[in-house]
Amino acid sequence: AQSVTQLGSHVSVSEGALVLLRCNYSSSVPPYLFWYVQYPNQGLQLLLKYTTGATLVKGINGFEAEFKKSETSFHLTKPSAHMSDAAEYFCAVSGRGNKLVFGAGTILRVKS
């Protein structure tokens, strides 16, 4: 069985500040981990994914995430927030033989 916990349903940052969105997972098999973003009135779009290999994964729009097995975490970061980053972000986990499970989402607000 797998599960995902996203800490904080809402996160607010100032423009130019660091963005940190937290994701912890549980998985009975080596996990595949994903971050998706959903802009208003749109579907989900893949930001980045970790399957195997390098634990620091770079995605689109300057986002990156680090897979930390010892902490069962896959937190999403961006050094400097832009107004256009305001959206809802979803962490998801799957694994060999296990279907994809989404977290509840974190709404990111960027203040000018």
Partner 1 sequence: ETGVTQTPRHLVMGMTNKKSLKCEQHLGHNAMYWYKQSAKKPLELMFVYSLEERVENNSVPSRFSPECPNSSHLFLHLHTLQPEDSALYLCASSQEAGQTNSPLHFGNGTRLTVT
* Site of interaction with partner 1 (CB under 8 A): 32, 34, 36, 41-46, 49, 51, 90, 94-100, 102-105
| Residue 64 beta carbon to partner 1: minimum distance, rounded to whole angstroms | 16
| Residue 34 beta carbon to partner 1: minimum distance, rounded to whole angstroms | 6
Q: Give whichever of 16 and 30 is closer to partner 1, judged by the CB atom.
A: 30
SS (H, E, C) the chain: CCEEEEECCEEEEECCCCEEEEEEEECCCCEEEEEEEECCCCCEEEEEEECCCCCEEECHHHCEEEEECCCCEEEEEECCCCHHHCEEEEEEEEECCEEEEECCCEEEEEEC
| Residue 80 beta carbon to partner 1: minimum distance, rounded to whole angstroms | 26
Q: Give whichever of 1 and 96 is closer to partner 1, judged by the CB atom.
A: 96
Q: Give whichever of 44 and 110 is closer to partner 1, judged by the CB atom.
A: 44
Say how far apart CA 57 and CA 101 lie, in whole Å. Answer: 20
Q: Give whichever of 81 and 108 is closer to partner 1, judged by the CB atom.
A: 108
